[in-house]
Chain A
Amino acid sequence: MIRLLTEPFDPGVELNAFSAGRTVTGAVASFLGIARGEAGQPVALELEAYPGFTEQAIAAFVETAIDRFGLQDAAVIHRIGPIAPGEPIVLVLTASPHRREAFQACDYLMDYLKSRAPFWKKEHGPDGAARWVEPTGRDLSDIARWG
């Protein structure tokens, strides 16, 4: 399940809904990304997507994660539009019979989202200056780990 949301979401509600009714799933792993203010300075974020294209691209990658790690299910919830510091930006949820695959798939999906998913992220600094954020060297080496 892929959802792009323009409003804040409640990660607890999403985790409960994703986990509910699973009787053959031994493990649900989750990753929650939160908008961070740099060095104590609040920085507003703005995320842009390409409606239709972004959901398709993420869904295709989620399918590869499901195959690669033998998941039972996976979900990605991602904010778009303006996001205030402290608000959740992204929630990745994975379900599998055993924990290792659920953890790994969560990590894999986040590495993809950081450097390959069709989002464009603008940071508005406290001085009013804005800059487009591109994947860092760390983001690129993280995704390269998966071959």
Chain B
Amino acid sequence: MARVLLFGRLRDIAGWRERDFAPAERMSALKALIRAADARLADAIEGPGVQAAVDKALARGDVALAPNAEVAFLPAMSGG
């Protein structure tokens, strides 16, 4: 199982904040599962400025995912 968390506009696009997906060994496999469920969300995740974090650390590229990984997709950030 992989737990996916969405933030900012990604959450509005998907209509959910947190969801469990079937186990995926790599980021690419998880993204394929997301695409099968919601192509519009998958496109947004691949869009410019979106970063991924695996177990609360930024992750680039097709990283391996541990069982029960927490994967967060983070659109452009702005605080202050």
Contact = CB atoms under 8 A, between A and B. Distances in A.
A140 to B, nearest CB: 10
B24 to A, nearest CB: 20
A133 B78 CA distance: 7
A133 B80 CA distance: 11
A57 B55 CA distance: 13
Nearest to A139: B78
A50 B80 contact: no
A19 interface: no
A132 B9 contact: yes
Interface residues of B, number: 16
Interface stretch (A21-29, A64-72, A97-105, A114-122): A114-122
A116 B77 contact: yes
Given A50-B7, A50-B72, A132-B8, A121 B79 contact: yes
A134 interface: yes
B74 A118 contact: yes
A119 B78 contact: yes
Contacts of A53: 53, 56, 72
A139 B33 CA distance: 35
6 shortest interchain CB distances as A-B pairs = A120-B8, A119-B79, A117-B79, A114-B80, A134-B76, A113-B79
Interface of B: 5, 7-9, 12, 49, 53, 56, 72, 74-80
